[in-house]
């Protein structure tokens, strides 16, 4: 269904965006892919440039095309011009300011990117009229906040965010629902659960831990280690996104003659929350195996247990039964295998010698 389509992907230099486009270039025939990214300085831009360089190299072996535009989705005029010029039939919004803790100290960038930027994407889709077949956008497991009921289900109430980041993601869901209702735009929100893997985001725990352990520093384990996270490998996330892209919610009319919102939300997670301490031990073992850390490395000497940080939650756990019911798909990559691939990438990318 994605063959010969014009697909707009925002956040194309980001972790999920670059991997999604790489997969589309492999699988799609004669698709035109437009990527947008502002290359902000939240983390090392060299990693973003490396991802784009790999995509450009991949074009030569693909029947599909990829063109990147450097702009900020918060720039409404510039973004509108892209929609007018390219007229995408499918839009995947992955551009956002990420990070729970960063949002506590830097709220402005979250409002600018995650609220204003997302509104501009919605307006771009509205401008296409019936030409927009599907808007897929990234939400987050953070919207569940400190929900006591586990696993987290799409039917759970998510009215009590514990971070500004989570609040902006919830606002995306509300705005998308409104535009879906008013303008009959098929919208699908995806609540991602702790995405990890090679060339991932350097602000994520597994990446930060690898950096600190390599320098011989201690790592802080929050809530004294009493945390569980539903880690989801990047390839599983991308597979889920691509399946969803091909199946927009159906349009239909209500008895009052107005559209029933073609709108849906899915969790994409591994449905297997890992105890944080187990995660740390597996990560250290795989870093040793990849020769990022020496064989004599003792992880116990590098752990500092500390209280919970503001904005954090003790557990994330995805109920993916709806994703399985509709698409017959469930993320399943084993944590050790995923961390092994990350450790091997880290060794090569940073040319680690021990």
DSSP label at residue 73: T
Q: Which helix (H) or strand (E) holds 16?
A: helix 15-27
User: Is residue 270 within 8 Å of 230, Cβ to Cβ?
Assistant: yes
Q: What are the φ/ψ torsions at residue 134 (nearest 5 degrees)?
A: -165, 130
Closest CA to 181 of 236, 232, 126: 126
DSSP label at residue 66: E
Whose tokens are 């063959």? That residue is: 3
Task: List all residues 6 or more positions away from 81 whose beta carbon is below 8 Å from its beta carbon.
Answer: none
Q: What are the φ/ψ torsions at residue 275 (nearest 5 degrees)?
A: -65, 130
Question: Helix, strand, or coil here: 28?
Answer: coil
Report the C-alpha gap between 88 and 2 in whole angstroms: 12
Closest CA to 92 of 171, 8, 12: 8
Q: How many CB atoms lie within 10 A of CB 229?
A: 24
Residue among 144, 165, 196, 206 flagged as catalytic: 165
Q: Is 137 a catalytic residue?
A: no
Report the C-alpha gap between 199 and 15 in whole angstroms: 7
Q: How many CB atoms lie within 10 A of CB 47?
A: 18
Closest CA to 96 of 74, 80, 79, 128: 74
Report the C-alpha gap between 156 and 142 in whole angstroms: 13
Residues taking part in catalysis:
165
């Amino acid at each position: 269904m994605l063959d010969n389509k014009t697909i707009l992907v925002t956040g194309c230099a980001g972790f999920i965006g670059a991997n999604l486009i790489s997969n589309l270039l492999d699988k799609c025939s004669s698709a035109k892919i437009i990527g947008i990214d502002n290359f902000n300085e939240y983390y090392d831009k060299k990693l973003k440039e490396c991802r784009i360089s790999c995509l450009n190299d991949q074009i030569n072996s693909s029947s599909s095309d990829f063109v990147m535009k450097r702009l900020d989705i918060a720039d409404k005029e510039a973004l509108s011009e892209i929609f007018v010029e390219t007229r995408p039939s499918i839009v995947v919004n992955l551009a956002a300011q990420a990070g729970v803790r960063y949002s506590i100290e830097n709220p402005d960038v979250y409002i600018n990117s995650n609220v204003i930027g997302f509104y501009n994407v919605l307006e771009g889709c509205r401008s296409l009229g019936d030409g927009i077949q599907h808007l897929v956008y990234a939400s987050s497991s953070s919207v569940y906040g400190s929900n006591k009921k586990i696993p987290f289900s799409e039917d759970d109430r998510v009215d009590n965010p514990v971070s500004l980041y989570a609040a902006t993601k919830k606002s995306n869901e509300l705005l998308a629902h409104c535009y879906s209702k008013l303008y009959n735009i098929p919208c699908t929100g995806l609540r991602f659960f702790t995405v990890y893997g090679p060339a991932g985001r350097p602000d994520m725990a597994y990446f930060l831990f690898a950096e600190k352990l390599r320098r011989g520093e201690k790592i802080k384990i929050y809530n004294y280690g009493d945390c569980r996270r539903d880690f989801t490998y990047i390839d599983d996330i991308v597979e889920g996104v691509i399946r969803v892209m091909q199946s927009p919610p159906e349009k239909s009319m209500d008895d009052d003659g107005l559209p029933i919102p073609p709108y849906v939300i899915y969790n994409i997670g591994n449905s297997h929350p890992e105890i944080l301490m187990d995660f740390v031990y597996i990560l250290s073992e795989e870093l040793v195996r990849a020769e990022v850390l020496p064989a004599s490395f003792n992880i116990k000497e590098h752990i500092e247990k500390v209280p919970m940080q503001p904005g954090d939650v003790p557990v994330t756990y995805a109920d993916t039964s709806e994703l399985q019911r509709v698409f017959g798909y469930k993320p399943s990559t084993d944590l050790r295998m995923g961390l092994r691939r990350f450790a091997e990438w880290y060794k090569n990318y940073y040319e680690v010698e021990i």
